[in-house]
Structure 1
Amino acid sequence: MASRWKQIGHRVEYALARALLYGFSRMAPQTASRLGAGTARMIGKWAPVSRIADINLRLIQPHLSDAERAYEVGKSWGHIGATLAELPHLPRLIRNEASGPGWTIAGEEHLLALRDHDGPIIFFSGHIGNWEMLPPIVASYGLAFAPFYREASNPLINRLIAALRQKAVGQAVPMFPKGARGARAAMAHLKNRGRLGVLGDQKMNDGIAATLFGEEAMTASATASFALKYQCIIVPGVMRRVGPARLHLRVEKPFMPVATGERQKDIEKLTQQLNDQLETWIREAPDQWLLLHRRWPRHFYARSEKPRA
Structure 2
Amino acid sequence: MSISENSASSPPAPSGGPKAGKRPPRKRPPLLRRLRNWLKSRLTPLVESFVGGYVRLSIWWLRLWPLSISSGGMAFWARLVGPFFPVTKVARRNLKAAFPEKSDAEITHLVRGIWANMGRLTADFAQQDQLWDYDPEKPDAGRIEVKGAEIFKRLRDDGRPALFFTAHTGNWELCAIAGAEFNVPGGVLYRAPNNRKAADLIEEMRAETMPYLIRAGRDAGRVMARMLANGEHLGMLVDQYWTNGPEVMFFGRPCATNPTLARLARQFECPVHGMRVVRLPGARFRVEITEELELPRDEEGKIDVQGTMQAVTSVIESWVREYPEQWLWLHRRWRP
Report the TM-score when normalising by structure 1: 0.89
Residue number in structure 1 paired with 2:5: none
* Residue 15, structure 1, aligned to residue 42, structure 2: no
SS at match of 1:281: helix
Distance apart, 1:262 and its partner CA: 4.5
Change (3 A) 1:80 1:262: farther
Residue of structure 2 in register with 1:291 after alignment: 329
Contact 2:188-2:236 within 8 A present in 1 as well: yes
Structure 1, 68-77 or 133-142: larger mean CA deviation: 133-142
Larger RCO of the pair (alpha carbons < 8 Å, separation 6+): 1
3-state SS of the aligned residue for 1:164?
helix
Note if contact 2:265-2:303 (Cα within 8 Å) is conserved in structure 1. Answer: no
Per the alignment, residue 159 of structure 1 pairs with 200
Q: 1:256 to 1:193 in 2, by over 3 A?
A: farther
Question: How far does residue 194 in structure 1 lie from its aligned partner after superposition?
Answer: 1.8
Instruction: Give me the identity figure in percent.
Output: 27
- Counterpart pick for 1:95 among 134, 141, 150: 134
Provide the residue aligned with 1:4 in structure 2: 42
Q: In structure 2, how many angstroms separate the alpha carbons of the residues matched to 1:262 and 1:37?
A: 51
Contact 1:136 1:144 in 2 (8 A): no
RMSD: 1.9
CA deviation map 1:80-109 (0-9, x unaligned):
11011111322222127557x721011222
How big is the shift at 1:28? 0.5
User: How far apart in 1 are the matches of 2:311 and 2:320?
Assistant: 14
In structure 2, do the counterparts of structure 1 residues 256 and 166 end up closer, same or farther at CA, with 3 Å as the change threshold? farther
d(CA) in 2 for partners of 1:224, 1:132: 22
- Return closer, same or farther for 1:226/1:181 CA change in 2, 3 Å cut-off: same
After superposition, the C-alpha distances for 1:243-279 in whole angstroms (9 at most, x for unaligned) are: 2431111211124646546489711111111011111
Residue in 1 aligned with 2:311? Answer: 273
Aligned to 1:25: 63
Partner of 1:85: 123
Query: Residue 210 of structure 1 corresponds to which residue in structure 2?
Result: 248
Partner of 1:45: 83
Segment drifting more, 260-269 vs 277-286: 260-269
| Helix, strand or coil at the partner of 2:243 | strand
Q: Distance in 2 between matches of 1:115 and 1:191?
A: 16
Q: Distance in 2 between matches of 1:61 and 1:198?
A: 27
Matched residue, 2:109: 71
Amino acid at match of 1:39: W
Q: Kindly indicate whether the alpha-carbon contact (under 8 Å) linking 1:227 and 1:257 is maintained by their aligned counterparts in 2.
A: no
What CA distance in whole angstroms lies between the structure 1 residues aligned with 2:273 and 2:234? 10
**Residue identity opposite 1:118 in structure 2:** G
3-state DSSP of counterpart to 2:321: helix
Give distance in 1, aligned partners of 2:208 and 2:291: 28
1:1-30 residue CA offsets vs partner (Å, 9 max, x unmatched): 311201110000001000001111111011
Is 1:146 aligned to 2:187, yes or no? yes
- What CA distance in whole angstroms lies between the structure 1 residues aligned with 2:313 and 2:294? 16
CA distance in 2, matches of 1:264, 1:218: 22
The verdict on how the C-alpha distance between 1:76 and 1:144 changes in structure 2, with shifts beyond 3 A counting, is: farther
Unpaired runs of 5+ residues, structure 1, are 300-309
CA deviation after TM superposition for structure 1 residue 177, in Å: 2.4
Q: Which residue of 1 aligns with 2:221?
A: 183
Q: Which moved more, 1:194-203 or 1:132-141?
A: 132-141
Q: Is the 8 A contact 2:254 2:334 kept in 1?
A: yes
SS where residue 94 of structure 2 aligns?
A: helix
7-16 vs 261-270, greater mean Cα deviation = 261-270
Pick aligned residue for 2:283 from 245, 255, 258: 245
Change (3 A) 1:119 1:102: same
Q: State the TM-score, normalized to the length of structure 2.
A: 0.83
Please identify the structure whose Cα radius of gyration is greater.
2
Residue pair 1:111, 1:138 contacting (<8 A) in 2 also:
yes
Cα pair 1:231 1:256 within 8 Å, conserved: no
Report the Cα distance in structure 2 between the residues aligned to 1:147 and 1:285, rounded to whole angstroms.
Answer: 24
Question: Residues 179 and 211 (structure 1 numbering): CA distance in 2 closer, same or farther, change over 3 Å?
Answer: farther
- In 1, Cα distance between equivalents of 2:298 and 2:250: 24
Q: Secondary structure at the match of 1:180?
A: coil
- Measure, in 1, the Cα distance between the counterparts of 2:294 and 2:200: 34
Distance apart, 1:211 and its partner CA: 1.2
